Amino acid sequence: MGLLLIFAVLIGITFWICYNRIIGRHNRAQRAWADVLVYERQKTRVLDQLELQVAGFKTYEGALLEKITGLRSAIGKLPQEANGDALQSVQKGTRELLAGLSVAFEAYPELKANELVGNFMREITEQQENVGAAITLFNGAVEIFNNSIQMFPSSLVNGCLNKKNAIIPFSDAEASAVFEYKPNF
The answer to the question of residue 33 being in a domain is yes
Say which range, 18-22, 38-42, 77-81, 93-97, has the weakest mean pLDDT. 93-97
How many Cα atoms are found within 13 Å in the side-chain-facing hemisphere of 177?
3
Residue 62 lies inside a defined structural domain of this protein: yes
Mean pLDDT of 143-150: 92
Residues in CB range of 50: below 8 A, 6 or more apart: 68, 117, 120, 121, 124
Write out the residue range of the structural domain in which residue 159 sits: 22-169
pLDDT level of residue 113 (50, 70, 90 thresholds): very low
11 is a domain residue: no
The domain tally of the chain equals: 1
pLDDT of residue 17: 93
Considering the domain boundaries, does residue 140 fall inside one? yes
**pLDDT value at residue 106:** 57
- Rounded Cα distance between 61 and 76, Å, is 24
DSSP states along 121-153: HHHHHHHHHHHHHHHHHHHHHHHHHHHHHHSTT
Number of Cβ within 10 Å of residue 108's Cβ equals 15
Pairwise pLDDT comparison (3 vs 63), residue with the higher score = 3
CATH classification at residue 116: 1.20.1440
Instruction: Assess if residue 4 is contained within a domain.
Output: no
Residue 157 lies in a domain: yes
Residue 180 lies in a domain: no
Which distant-in-sequence residues (6+ apart) come within 8 Å of 22 by Cβ?
145, 148, 149, 154, 157, 158, 162, 164
Long-range contacts of 45-53, Cβ-Cβ distance < 8 Å, separation of 24 or more: 46/120, 46/123, 46/124, 46/127, 47/71, 47/72, 47/75, 47/124, 48/72, 49/120, 50/117, 50/120, 50/121, 50/124, 53/114, 53/116, 53/117, 53/120
The answer to whether 171 and 33 have CB atoms below 8 angstroms apart is no
- d(Cα 43, Cα 71) in Å, to the nearest integer? 10
Please give the model's pTM, rounded to 2 decimal places: 0.64
pLDDT tens digits for 130-145?
Answer: 888 888 999 999 999 9
Tell me the mean pLDDT in the region 143-152.
91
Indicate whether 108 belongs to any domain. yes
